[in-house]
């Protein structure tokens, strides 16, 4: 049995749990593999560092909503098993209603920026690979419509796959997009793209990582009832 919740902010203990979940999900992701080339057992700590940065960065942005799924069965003990991070972009009244900012968020963003630049300076991250990654992310941003819901991240713990967890995480954002009549966008893995096509997404471009060794589709789901 699972339970889905929406988080606009998280406590330190929740953040630690989400970081551990993200590590379990994305430790072998190609984009992270090009940043950390050490063996699996030795690079977990590095992946944990970058996910602490990512999650704090996402939480610091106005308009971010996290959807999480817990396993509330007796065996699951309430652990997080799925994570979706959504971002509302745009300048409409509806978009601004999601884009709540605060002094806490601005301070967190400053802290993230300082740590990011520190780790670049000391060589924790390979600067050339980070530039490549950021360039591909910007490429996708330039292809998206101004008003949109964007699925930034979606992942399910390996031992919880096949139980509908991903469907719950996706549906939250699709419902918001339909209610507000705006498109939904994302960048998918090759495997994930198969699932997203079932929800009406279509490919509008591709990202390339690690000097072309890995590619993934940039996808868009049009407003329901509209013509592409």
pLDDT tens-place string over residues 153-209: 999 998 888 888 999 999 999 999 999 999 999 999 888 899 999 999 999 999 887
User: Does 186 map to a domain?
Assistant: yes
pLDDT reading at 37 higher than 60: no
Cα 136 → chain centroid: 15
User: Does 203 map to a domain?
Assistant: yes
User: Does 43 map to a domain?
Assistant: yes
CB-CB contact of 221 with 144 (8 Å): no
User: Does 227 map to a domain?
Assistant: no
- The pTM of this model reads 0.88
Residue with the larger pLDDT of the pair 88 and 131: 88
User: Does 228 map to a domain?
Assistant: no
CATH of the domain at 210: 3.40.630.30
Over the stretch 132-163, which tens digit does the pLDDT of each residue have? 888 888 888 899 999 999 999 999 998 888 88
- Opening angle at CA 57, ends 186 and 42, nearest 5: 90
Over the stretch 73-119, which tens digit does the pLDDT of each residue have? 766 678 899 999 999 999 999 999 999 899 999 999 999 999 999 98
Q: What is the rounded distance in angstroms from the CA atom of residue 181 to the CA atom of residue 176?
A: 8
User: Does 34 map to a domain?
Assistant: yes
User: Does 226 map to a domain?
Assistant: no
DSSP-assigned beta bridge partners for residue 184? 149, 221
- In a 3-state reduction of DSSP, which class is residue 145? coil
The range of the structural domain enclosing residue 207 comes to 2-221
State how many domains the chain has.
1
User: Does 212 map to a domain?
Assistant: yes
Composition of the chain by helix, strand, coil, percent to 5: 50, 25, 30
């Amino acid at each position: 049995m699972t339970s889905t919740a929406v988080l606009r902010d998280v406590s330190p203990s929740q953040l630690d749990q989400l970081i551990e979940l993200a590590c379990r999900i994305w430790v072998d992701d190609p984009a992270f593999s090009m940043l950390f080339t050490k063996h699996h057992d030795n690079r977990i700590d590095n992946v944990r560092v970058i996910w602490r940065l990512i999650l704090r960065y996402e939480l610091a942005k106005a308009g971010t909503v996290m959807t999480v799924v817990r396993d509330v069965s007796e065996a699951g003990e309430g652990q997080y098993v799925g994570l979706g991070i959504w971002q509302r972009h745009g300048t409409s009244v509806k978009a601004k209603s999601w884009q709540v900012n605060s002094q806490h968020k601005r301070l967190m963003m400053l802290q993230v920026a300082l740590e990011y630049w520190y780790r670049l300076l000391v060589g924790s991250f390979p600067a050339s690979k980070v530039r490549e990654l950021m360039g591909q992310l910007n490429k996708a941003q330039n292809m998206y419509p101004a008003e949109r819901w964007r699925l930034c991240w979606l992942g399910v713990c390996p031992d919880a796959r096949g139980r509908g967890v991903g469907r719950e995480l996706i549906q939250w954002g699709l419902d918001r997009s339909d209610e507000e009549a705006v498109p939904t966008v994302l960048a998918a893995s090759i495997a994930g793209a198969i699932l997203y096509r079932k929800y009406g997404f279509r490919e509008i471009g591709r990202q390339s990582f690690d000097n072309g060794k890995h590619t993934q589709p940039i996808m868009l789901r049009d407003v329901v009832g509209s013509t592409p």
